[in-house]
Amino acid sequence: MSGMWVWNEDLIVYTTPYKDIRHIVLFQYILFLAGAVLWAPLTLIALQREQKLYSVLLALWLTASGSIGLFVMACGTQDLLMIIAATICMLHHVIFDAIYWWFTWDVGSRGFKKVEHSTLRFI
């Protein structure tokens, strides 16, 4: 999907009537990647604090909203494979990550071993 947006200059969004909306595709990628980059460190912070942080939810929905935007833009290209790829990506990030994972995520201390700083050994 990314290869089609970034390197395929024959897409409808690069031609005359749609040339002015290329920045929207870039904005959707920025939303998507910003949420994806923020998710892992924010999740680790939440696990350390043993509480669900709303910043993790915000990162999930940044990624989900970016994938929704990419799906909408892909629907305008009339490229069936790109639409299918964008649909799978969008459904995964909205249903499985932003909704299901958030509501089933347990940040309790099960399986998360805290290490005391005084017991760390350096090689």
Q: How many residues does the chain have?
A: 123
What is the band of 123 on the pLDDT scale with cuts at 50, 70, 90? low
Mean pLDDT of 84-94: 94
Q: pTM value?
A: 0.75
| Mean pLDDT (whole number) for 117-122 | 57
Read off the pLDDT band of 67 (50, 70, 90).
very high
Task: Quote the distance between the C-alpha of residue 77 and its chain's center.
Answer: 22
Over residues 4-39, the pLDDT tens digits come to 655 555 555 555 555 666 778 788 889 999 999 999
Query: Which of 22-26, 45-49, 82-86, 106-110 bottoms out in mean pLDDT, i.e. has the lowest?
Result: 106-110
pLDDT for res 77:
77
Higher pLDDT, 79 or 117: 79
The domain locations on the chain are 2-6+21-119
